[in-house]
Structure 1
Amino acid sequence: MFENFFLGLHLPGSRYTTSPLYFPGSGAARAGGGLGGGAAWEAGLRRAPCGCQCVCPSLLHCLPPPLPLLPPPLPGSPQPPASRVAATSSDRNFMNKHQKPVLTGQRFKTRKRDEKEKFEPTVFRDTLVQGLNEAGDDLEAVAKFLDSTGSRLDYRRYADTLFDILVAGSMLAPGGTRIDDGDKTKMTNHCVFSANEDHETIRSYAQVFNKLIRRYKYLEKAFEDEMKKLLLFLKAFSETEQTKLAMLSGILLGSGTLPATILTSLFTDSLVKEGIAASFAVKLFKAWMAEKDANSVTSSLRKANLDKRLLELFPVNRQSVDHFAKYFTDAGLKELSDFLRVQQSLGTRKELQKELQERLSQECPIKEVVLYVKEEMKRNDLPETAVIGLLWTCIMNAVEWNKKEELVAEQALKHLKQYAPLLAVFSSQGQSELILLQKVQEYCYDNIHFMKAFQKIVVLFYKADVLSEEAILKWYKEAHVAKGKSVFLDQMKKFVEWLQNAEEESESEGEEN
């Protein structure tokens, strides 16, 4: 690699030599070239012809330190592994490096980012308890203390301890027992569990939590986790403490500080079996509905996917709509009872629609479909008004419709004529007929190829005794929906006039007779 690497020019009075520099292991050295060959080349490296000692300083940083020549291996001797040779070479190079001087008594300073702060929740507890006791029953002073103390105390690190003390007045062990129950100096009575059991007082404490979380936004998730934990610990709390916690949870749910997902902790088997879950839920929903209306509460339950899990608040042998309705109605929560009935009805309708769709796609006889639907109506207490819409949807989904507008009307009439007897069975009430008319109107508006077929479908149903004259006239005058109103009313104008004239003629004939 370093063969004939450098040729210096020796000028009088300079330190640079005109002799070529050869290094150990180079071809020139092996050939005996350079300054006389053999061992003489080493002397040439050290001294120039002028007698001065010279080596180009600009090359020193580029060249590795010289290695002594190794004797050639004996014939037949084993060759050392390449890795060992490389390691020996690197060790030799390492030993030739200059070691940096180290002062005696030098201290290595740990970087601040590498220092680990001790976890001392008891110190945090003592400071917090002292501040709460000094603030006393003045919740405005408590809120100001918590606001100002956040700059000195690590709320992020000790969030569990912070919320334990604000709710229970003490640090809580796993399971909900108080760690400092024997030492009153490490507890405070200025907390939720020690407050009066009335809605206004608990609402004042809820405002303290709201202010704290608005000021320190990073506590939001920690507070949610804390409330889930406290709901799991309900068995360790007294009935009064459970009531206060339920009221606090309901108020905070109403203000949006907490999400409805915290209620999943109530579905724990131990709480359900002992009846704690249902009792706590009633108190919580009462406080929630005191803040928000029933629609807001049920909407939050839907968003959290809890609307279909309310029955799980009761043991398996009591998970029925009737038991839930009676329990919550007796507690003054009829709105939730009605909501659950509607949700269960929707679930039943979805199952019914799925089964109907399958039977229609298999072209089951209409008589069998009628028997099946009547049995489901009786078993699930479904009204005819709920079934007629499902039937229409399933019948229209059972066919792949033509994309051409001029052909789809003929295809629709042929298909609906086949299933008109099925629709006639479940449209025996005037309200059912109006719902069917509205469903037909919405379908024809949403599927543009059916826009011109609306009047033909209505006439077909009139002739097949699916729709009565009274229902059509009422729909035309007042019961139609907004979708495509002007188009469909214009289509039906002549037919409605014919119906009205026929009605007048029949009335006049009746008077003559």
Structure 2
Amino acid sequence: MSHTPTSTGPGGNALAPNQSAAQDKKPSLAGVRVRQRKGQAKASAKFEPESFRDSFLLHLALLPSPLTTDALVAKLVQAGTTLEYLKYNEQFFELLFVGGLLQPGGAYLDDKRSPVYIVKTDDTSVTGDEGRGEDSWKDGVKGMVEVLKRVIQRYKYLQKPLEEDFLPNLLGYLGKWDLTARAKLAEATALLILELGASPKCLQSLAKDHVVKDGVALSFLSPFFKTYLSKQNVEHLGSTLRRSGLRDLLLVFPIQTRDRAHLEEYFKKEGLQPIIDWYAKLASLEAREQTINEVGRLINDEETNEQIIEFIKNQQVEKPAPEADLCEWIWQGLMKSIDWSARPDQLDQAVILHLTARAPILEAFCNGAKAQIGLINAIQVYCYTDTRIIKAFAQIVKVLYNADVISDQAIIYWHQKGAKPQGKQHFLKATEAMVKFLEEQESDEEE
């Protein structure tokens, strides 16, 4: 006869099989609704930008008249307690910048508009919704930027999507707006970078082909520069442009006008001479680095003097530089290619041999008196800075004189009144005998 196994309960009492199963079953509460966590509810909620827009406009419909910056800030901060600004940050900024929701590509989704927004503001008033008349708004774009700044200071999580997503996308749609609207967007962007500390990387969008086309990017950049320069100097602006990643201002010019002459012509017409001067200085620094590095590289690659001269001439066609600057850059390139590992007592001789062999490169470009005197000064400052060859200064000048790089008149003028202050007395004394000889030779020729 078989027996059904039994379980033993507390005290050794036997339990029936159905009793054991009942104990293993987990308890449940019939009719009790398990609440979803708040974060999970938000994540699974539908994305409804139009519903957000409608709720947002209901808040703005209660704005007082006349409208003030403080009132608008207070209303937006209050609305942020019930509306999901982070989830709908793109729609939030669209309503405050362009007044309505945008479709991909930049066109308006429908006709619903905010009562106040950046591209519609002016210095007198802003037209509200149909039937509301005009709300007085005397602060214009600056007032709207002040509003944005204060709201973002309250809701700090809005700054990152503004500078990383919204502004780059909006500047990609510039062709959708007329000149007046572009100017307002430009002013707002400049003020946000200056006053809110927004990243300038959005300016990279200006180099996109469809934005560059027909001068659209330029029509934004001019008012951007004017606004920026009304608050800061051109060096500060240059630093911002470097941080923006916009590598070269020429990239915002249409391809058929992408050259230095058109850049200068355009910004001169716009009354932006500081931009022309800044760009010329920047271009000069880039040309300087390129010349120094390339001359040094070509010499190390054992290219001939003729090949190096040809390279510099081609570079001058593309990026012309003053003769005096060019001669100094070539000198720096010649020094860059020297083997400085020689013994100290042999270094002077190594420099002299190197310059003797490569002097024809300088001779091809060092023609005018200004360039020659500038070259002597460049050598003077270099020898003063790098004292390893300070004693070779007079020999270097003599080598360049014998190679027809610098004239006797240039040496005499430098000695009499053209020398730089760095180590002046030392270098004048070192070349005193040479100058005396040249003066006597000049006097004999005159006689």
Q: Is the structural similarity TM-score above 0.5?
A: yes
1:167 pairs with 2:93: no
Contact residue 218 and residue 253 of structure 2 kept, 8 A: yes
Take 1:131 and 1:114, find their aligned partners in 2: how far apart are those partners?
25
Equivalent of residue 30 in structure 2, options 90, 105, 108 = 105
Contact residue 430 and residue 471 of structure 1 kept, 8 A: no
SS in 2 for 1:156: coil
1:489 matched to which residue of 2? 424
Contact residue 437 and residue 475 of structure 1 kept, 8 A: no
1:274 matched to which residue of 2? 214
Deviation at 1:399, TM superposition (A): 3.0
Contact residue 473 and residue 496 of structure 1 kept, 8 A: no
Deviation at 1:415, TM superposition (A): 1.5
RMSD between aligned residues: 3.8
Paired AA for residue 188 in structure 1: S
Deviation at 1:338, TM superposition (A): 3.8
Q: Show structure 1 runs of 5+ residues with no match.
A: 1-41, 47-52, 58-94
Take 1:402 and 1:460, find their aligned partners in 2: how far apart are those partners?
22
Change (3 A) 1:446 1:492: closer
2:128 matched to which residue of 1? none
Paired AA for residue 171 in structure 1: L
Deviation at 1:350, TM superposition (A): 4.8
Deviation at 1:323, TM superposition (A): 2.2
Paired AA for residue 193 in structure 1: V
| 1:215-364 superposed matches below 5 A | 215-224=154-163, 225-255=165-195, 257-308=197-248, 310-353=249-292, 355-364=294-303
Instruction: Give TM-score scaled by structure 2 length.
Output: 0.78
Paired AA for residue 449 in structure 1: R
Change (3 A) 1:108 1:190: closer
Deviation at 1:265, TM superposition (A): 1.6
Take 2:401 and 2:212, find their aligned partners in 1: how far apart are those partners?
55
Change (3 A) 1:235 1:474: same
Question: Bigger CA drift: 272-281 or 453-462?
Answer: 453-462
1:209 matched to which residue of 2? 148
Deviation at 1:479, TM superposition (A): 4.6
Deviation at 1:408, TM superposition (A): 0.8
Take 1:366 and 1:214, find their aligned partners in 2: how far apart are those partners?
62
Contact residue 164 and residue 171 of structure 1 kept, 8 A: yes
Deviation at 1:248, TM superposition (A): 1.6
Take 1:245 and 1:55, find their aligned partners in 2: how far apart are those partners?
80
Deviation at 1:108, TM superposition (A): 5.7
Question: Bigger CA drift: 117-126 or 402-411?
Answer: 117-126
Contact residue 145 and residue 188 of structure 2 kept, 8 A: yes
Take 1:219 and 1:348, find their aligned partners in 2: how far apart are those partners?
41
2:336 matched to which residue of 1? 397
Take 2:9 and 2:298, find their aligned partners in 1: how far apart are those partners?
104
Take 1:257 and 1:429, find their aligned partners in 2: how far apart are those partners?
48
2:130 matched to which residue of 1? none
Contact residue 197 and residue 240 of structure 1 kept, 8 A: no
Contact residue 377 and residue 383 of structure 1 kept, 8 A: no
Take 1:157 and 1:379, find their aligned partners in 2: how far apart are those partners?
50
Contact residue 250 and residue 284 of structure 1 kept, 8 A: yes
Q: Show structure 2 runs of 5+ residues with no match.
A: 13-19, 125-137
Instruction: Give TM-score scaled by structure 1 length.
Output: 0.69
2:16 matched to which residue of 1? none
| 1:401-420 superposed matches below 5 A | 401-420=340-359
**Larger relative CO (CA 8 A, sep 6+): 1 or 2?**
2
Contact residue 266 and residue 277 of structure 1 kept, 8 A: yes
Change (3 A) 1:472 1:144: farther
Take 2:170 and 2:440, find their aligned partners in 1: how far apart are those partners?
76
Change (3 A) 1:492 1:272: closer
Deviation at 1:337, TM superposition (A): 3.2
Contact residue 307 and residue 343 of structure 1 kept, 8 A: no
Deviation at 1:270, TM superposition (A): 2.3
Deviation at 1:232, TM superposition (A): 1.9
Paired AA for residue 122 in structure 2: N
Deviation at 1:388, TM superposition (A): 0.8
1:146 matched to which residue of 2? 76
1:128 pairs with 2:63: no
Question: Bigger CA drift: 193-202 or 389-398?
Answer: 193-202
1:196 matched to which residue of 2? 122
Aligned residues: 417
Take 1:505 and 1:344, find their aligned partners in 2: how far apart are those partners?
44
Contact residue 412 and residue 439 of structure 2 kept, 8 A: no
Question: Bigger CA drift: 456-465 or 142-151?
Answer: 456-465
Contact residue 94 and residue 100 of structure 2 kept, 8 A: yes
Paired AA for residue 301 in structure 1: L
SS in 2 for 1:218: helix
Take 1:339 and 1:229, find their aligned partners in 2: how far apart are those partners?
28
1:385 matched to which residue of 2? 324
